Amino acid sequence: MPNRPNILVIMADQFRASSLGLLGEDPVHTPHLDRLAAEGCLVRQAVSNYPVCSPHRAMFLTGMRPVDNGVTLNVNSETAQDGIGLRSGLDTWAGVLRRHGWRTGYIGKWHLEPPVDEDAEFGEGRRSDGKVWDAWSPPDRRFGFDFWYSYGAADRHLTPHYWTTRAGRHERVDIDQWSAEHETDVAIRFLQQSGDEPFALMLSLNPPHPPFELVPDRYRTRYAELDDATLLPRPNVRLGTETAHKAAGIARDYYAAVTGVDEQIGRLHAAVQACSGDRPTVIVFTSDHGMQMGSHELLYKNVAYEESMRLPFIVHSPQLVPAGESQVVVDSMDVAPTILGLVGLALGGDAVAGRDRSGALRGEPGGADDDTAMYYRYASRSDPTSVRGLRTPQAKIVATWDPKGGLSVEVFDLDDDPFELSSRPQTGLATTMARMLHEALTAAGDDWAGADALADTYRLEPMNA
């Protein structure tokens, strides 16, 4: 590609798909994202294979399954004892771009570095759960990113801290400013200093992740007086319950943070337009997962319901990707191959499971033949259950294995039941979805403990029969 494009990837943590104001579901004001989507490509079927922070981020960077990239659970001091963390030496989309002449940078939340003892002293500290979540990342474990202005996992949104490119563990920078605004300031400076070479920058914003109340008051006014029914319009929220009441309180601050993030994206877009010159820029906006906010009597994430799995996903690059909407499925593992595909590059290695969706986004034929996305959840010290699922735009199967209680299965017809109000695990659709899931597990060599029980329950023939 003669005039190599700039790449700006923006990830806002826990920003659910229905909180894009353009979609008209959550009562959120997001004019800058709406403009970005209207001028770009809005991907309607983007999903997180594992809707919790670290596992999604590892797949997002490497295109690999959790078992291959080493991040099967959220990274903290407890899981680090079990070897959880992004494996050294793995290639990422940033590493490929750097080798081909892009200036790479990472700003904001990382959450892929296993904490060591010293991180309890020099990072955020030990949380009330007794674990250390925040960690300094050594320079040889930044996976292709040269410029570094980041932290591990810390949630002090109004008083954040960072480690810069050459800072040691004991040399963090403390800031008195809302993290999303400050990180956008840093990103704009990065853009302004990019020079003649193309850049590839990832901006990883923590808001609207909790603590939800840590959001500037100036964004709260719009949502302060809205009632529960207006704040929580999805029909799978049982209004009047204690969970719904908590969700409404969360929603006011959550939507305020979403509007604040939108304002920062407007600033970034303006900076891109001012700095790019004749070089095209690919802007990708997305999230790592959504959140339930009262749907199905749940508040948070790490479940297979649509509120958690679905992602906002916008690709804005008028010179490279036609404006409009796309129904192609883009999952966590597809992002790395797709980013590279947009600039004519690819991730190598047999462990890459993600699909390059760049052709489909450009409207080329044959670029979206496989419309499935896996769902993963691995057992942990506190929860022995494990889950595998498979989603298409039309249907979803979620199979949970409990070592003591055995297999349980939920199946949803997303065409007839988009809010997943009625599971139908005894139908012909369920058998079809179970077969698809079992075949996917077999093809991937996934030794999930519930696979045999799934095959027995639905009387599935062995694949080589």
User: Is omega for the bond preceding 384 within 30 degrees of 0, making it cis?
Assistant: no
Rounded Cα distance, 8 and 2, in Å: 19
Helix, strand or coil, per DSSP, at residue 295: strand
Neighbouring-strand partners of residue 402:
406
Which one, of 77, 67, 66, 164, lies nearest residue 115 by Cα? 77
Amino acid, single-letter form, for residue 412: F
CB 8 within 8 A of CB 286: no
Helix residue ranges, H only, 166-285: 179-192, 228-231, 242-275
Rounded Cα distance, 73 and 85, in Å: 8
Here the tokens at position 272 are 């891109």
The domains located in the chain, with CATH, are 6-361 (3.40.720.10), 384-457 (3.30.1120.10)
Asked whether the predicted pLDDT for residue 462 surpasses 90, the reply is no
User: Is omega for the bond preceding 462 within 30 degrees of 0, making it cis?
Assistant: no
Read off the pLDDT of residues 408-454 as tens digits, 9 standing for 90 and up. Answer: 999 999 999 999 999 999 999 999 999 999 999 999 999 999 999 99
Helix, strand or coil, per DSSP, at residue 235: coil
What does 132-192 look like in DSSP terms, one character per residue? B---PPPGGGSTT--EEEEESS---TTS-EEEETT--TT--EE--S-HHHHHHHHHHHHHH
Handedness of CA 259, 76, 248, 383 (dihedral sign): positive
Read off the pLDDT of residues 27-73 as tens digits, 9 standing for 90 and up. Answer: 999 999 999 999 999 999 999 999 999 999 999 999 999 999 999 99
Q: pLDDT-based confidence at 366, cuts 50/70/90?
A: low
Which one, of 6, 47, 20, 40, lies nearest residue 355 by Cα? 47
Read off the pTM: 0.95
Q: pLDDT-based confidence at 23, cuts 50/70/90?
A: low
Asked whether the predicted pLDDT for residue 464 surpasses 50, the reply is no
Q: What b/e string do you get for 29-46 counting C-beta neighbours within 10 Å, with b at 16 or more?
A: bbebbbbbbeebbbbebb
Q: How far apart are the first and last CA of the chain?
A: 47
Q: Please give the angle made by the CA atoms of 1, 364 and 342, to the nearest 5 degrees.
A: 35
Long-range contacts of 378-382 (CB under 8 A, 24+ apart): 378/66, 378/72, 378/73, 380/73, 380/79, 381/78, 381/82
CA atoms within 13 A on the CB side of 426: 1
- The label of the residue with tokens 């597809």 reads 334
- With a CB cutoff of 8 Å and minimum separation 6, the contacts of 292 are 247, 298, 299, 300, 301, 303, 305, 307, 308
Here the tokens at position 144 are 């292709």
Q: pLDDT-based confidence at 348, cuts 50/70/90?
A: confident
- Count other C-beta atoms under 10 Å from residue 92's C-beta: 26
Phi, psi angle pair for 304, to nearest 5°: -90, 5
What pLDDT, on a 0 to 100 scale, did the predictor assign at position 463? 47
| Average pLDDT score over residue span 270-274 | 92
Q: Please give the angle made by the CA atoms of 369, 18 and 241, to the nearest 5 degrees.
A: 130
What does 81-144 look like in DSSP terms, one character per residue? TTT-SPPTT---HHHHHHHTT-EEEEEEE---SPP-TTHHHHSS-B-TTS-B---PPPGGGSTT
Asked whether the predicted pLDDT for residue 365 surpasses 90, the reply is no
Read off the pLDDT of residues 189-232 as tens digits, 9 standing for 90 and up. Answer: 999 998 888 999 999 999 999 999 999 999 999 999 999 999 99
What pLDDT, on a 0 to 100 scale, did the predictor assign at position 277? 77
Q: pLDDT-based confidence at 465, cuts 50/70/90?
A: very low
- Count other C-beta atoms under 10 Å from residue 175's C-beta: 18
Q: Which of 14-23, 134-143, 386-395 has the lowest mean pLDDT?
A: 14-23
